[in-house]
Every structure is written in structure tokens, then in C-alpha cells.
């Protein structure tokens, strides 16, 4: 691993790590709502490196060891209420800002173009990066994500409750709360409670910052539909979605693939809204295949 932990990008600090050799094809792996680098199992990163990638992982803004936005005077509950009333909420930042963070980070570490791979909200950021910074994206892999259109990829009622519940501030309470939440939206067929608990202990010990999760959710809600931009994409794309995902239901992935010209849809049986080891090879296969379709000619090279 190459550790260049903090870099100023787009006016903020972003914690990141780079895994794999310099000659590997650059791949930026984007976390979901409220998640941080601690979410990735090292064996998953090693698998991607073994497929020939140089993997950049980072804490998105407002989470983990990247810049927090606690100085923003915004009441999430008030803004969430606006959504239920059909109004657009205020937000501290948008998915466009978060995508610009990625483009700026790539520039700061000397990566001109990369394969963009995102899970859940990370998929939304990856989509936005491809729409608004197409010169930065070699290929797009959107996993367990959706289009931003109202009613598309909506969570089930039970998953909605998990999304808006406040986690306890003490370590044991936080781990118990998050484990039960993962049980609701995760992959039942591959449930491993100790692995899930270990993940949430890592997250808590590294950076406990629940306020950032609320602002992430507001960023998603305030950013609206990406349908028009997705229709205009010209980039090799694969959409991966769990058939039994209750947090972003599978119609979100299907609609994403429908909108993006030439996109492949990979539906994974028994996969919920998580990435258990049992699906790693399937997901890595999809990423590797779409990357092979990309034009990796260096920018400025003769054709």
C-alpha cells in the first residue's frame, strides 16, 4: 500500500490510500453513505489488485479522516421533513461537489483517468463523475445504486427506518445498532455476524461521526435525478445489483442500466445491500470485464 493519507483537493482535505503497483490500471473505489475506508476488507482490495488494478480508496468528505462539515448550520430533521412534503431540502453540499472532490484528488495524485467503481451513494458519485468529468473516467461500475429519480430504487419500509434511525454514541451501542441494521438490509444467505461486528468496531474506533451520515443523505436527496446525464454517457458501463436488496431495490439498478447506452446489467442472486466475500469474485469479474472494454490510451498520446 502507498500511503499519502491527506491531500488538499477541491478546497478540503481527503484521506486516501493507494493499493497496488504503479503500473496497474487506476481504479477509484467509492464508499457508500456514511462509510469510510474501514468498510473495505483488505482481502477485497487485494483481489482487485490481483486483477491488475492500482486501487485508490478514500474517505469521502464529511466522514472518516477527511474534512468534516460540522460548521454548517443545518438541521437534518427539518430538511428531511421537507422531502416528505414534496420540497427540495437544503444541503451542505451535493453529489456534484463530491464528484469534483474525486476529480481533484485524482489530479493531486497524478492520475489522469481511472475506472470509477462505486457502491450505493458511491455509485451515485461515480455516475456523477462520469457525467460531469467524463475525461476522468475510463469505465463505470455502478453497484447497488440508482438514478436519483423519484420512486426508483426506493427502500422498503423496514430499510427506510434503518436509514433514518440515530445510532447510540457509545461503542457497544453503536456496534449493536449497526449490526442489527446490517441484518435488515444485508445478504441473509451470507450472514456473518462476527465479520459485521468487526467492521462496525473498526469504523467506530477510527472515526465516529454520525452527523456526516445525515449530511450525506441530504446531499443525495438534494441532488435530484441523473436520468438526463446518464442517457448521454459514452463510457463502458456495468451495473451490478443484488436481487434481494431492500435498501436500494433492484429496480434502481435496472433503471440505471436502461438509461446508460450500452450498459451491461449483472444481477446477483441472494445479494442484499452489502458486499459479502461470497460475491467478491462475481463483482470483480464484472469490474474486470468492463475495464477491458475501456480505451486506456494515455491522454495526449498519438492515435
Domain harbouring 90, CATH code:
3.40.50.1820
Distance separating alpha carbons of residues 38 and 36, to the nearest angstrom: 5
User: Of all helices (H) and strands (E), which one includes residue 14?
Assistant: strand 12-19
Does residue 300 form part of some domain? no
Band of residue 298 on the pLDDT scale cut at 50, 70, 90: low
Does residue 34 form part of some domain? yes
Task: Give mean pLDDT, residues 243-252.
Answer: 98
Does residue 200 form part of some domain? yes
* Percent of the chain topping pLDDT 90: 85
Does residue 267 form part of some domain? yes
Does residue 210 form part of some domain? yes
- The yes-or-no verdict on residue 302 having pLDDT over 50 is no
Does residue 81 form part of some domain? yes
Entry pTM: 0.95
Number of structural domains in the chain: 1
Band of residue 301 on the pLDDT scale cut at 50, 70, 90: very low
Task: Give mean pLDDT, residues 136-151.
Answer: 97
CA dist list (Å): 127 to 50, 95, 225, 283: 25, 10, 11, 17
Q: Name the grid cell of 237.
A: 458501463
Does residue 228 form part of some domain? yes
1-56 confidence digits (pLDDT tens): 655 577 877 889 999 999 999 999 999 999 999 999 999 999 999 999 999 999 99
Q: Name the grid cell of 255.
A: 433503471
Work out whether strand 237-242 and strand 264-268 pair parallel, antiparallel, or are unpaired.
Answer: parallel
User: What range does the domain containing 75 cover?
Assistant: 2-292
Does residue 119 form part of some domain? yes
Task: Give mean pLDDT, residues 63-69.
Answer: 96
Amino acid at each position: 500500500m502507498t500511503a499519502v493519507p491527506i491531500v488538499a483537493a477541491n478546497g478540503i482535505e481527503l484521506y486516501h490510500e493507494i493499493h497496488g503497483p504503479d503500473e496497474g490500471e487506476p481504479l477509484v473505489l467509492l464508499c457508500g453513505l456514511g462509510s469510510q475506508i474501514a468498510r473495505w476488507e483488505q482481502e477485497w482490495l487485494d483481489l482487485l489488485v490481483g486483477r491488475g488494478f492500482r486501487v485508490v480508496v478514500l474517505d469521502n468528505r464529511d466522514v472518516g479522516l477527511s474534512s468534516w462539515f460540522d460548521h454548517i448550520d443545518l438541521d437534518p430533521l427539518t430538511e428531511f421533513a421537507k422531502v416528505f412534503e414534496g420540497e427540495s431540502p437544503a444541503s451542505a453540499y451535493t453529489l456534484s461537489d463530491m464528484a469534483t472532490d474525486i476529480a481533484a484528488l485524482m489530479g493531486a495524485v497524478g492520475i489522469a483517468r481511472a475506472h470509477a467503481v462505486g457502491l450505493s451513494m458511491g455509485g451515485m458519485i461515480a455516475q456523477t463523475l462520469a457525467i460531469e468529468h467524463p475525461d476522468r473516467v475510463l469505465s463505470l461500475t455502478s453497484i447497488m445504486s440508482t438514478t436519483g429519480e423519484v420512486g426508483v430504487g426506493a427502500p422498503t419500509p423496514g430499510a427506510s427506518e434503518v436509514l433514518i434511525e440515530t445510532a447510540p454514541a457509545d461503542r457497544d451501542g453503536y456496534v449493536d445498532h449497526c449490526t442489527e441494521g446490517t441484518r435488515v438490509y444485508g445478504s441473509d444467505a451470507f450472514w456473518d455476524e462476527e465479520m459485521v461486528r468487526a467492521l462496525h468496531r473498526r469504523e467506530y474506533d477510527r472515526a465516529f461521526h454520525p452527523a456526516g451520515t445525515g449530511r450525506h443523505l441530504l446531499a443525495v436527496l438534494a441532488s435530484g435525478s441523473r436520468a438526463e446525464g446518464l442517457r448521454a454517457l459514452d463510457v463502458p458501463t456495468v451495473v451490478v445489483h443484488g436481487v434481494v436488496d431492500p435498501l436500494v431495490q433492484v429496480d434502481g439498478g435496472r433503471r440505471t442500466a436502461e438509461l446508460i447506452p450500452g450498459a451491461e446489467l449483472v444481477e446477483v442472486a441472494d445479494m442484499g445491500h452489502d458486499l459479502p466475500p461470497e460475491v467478491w469474485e462475481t463483482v470483480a469479474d464484472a469490474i474486470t470485464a468492463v475495464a477491458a472494454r475501456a480505451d486506456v490510451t494515455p491522454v495526449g498520446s498519438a492515435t
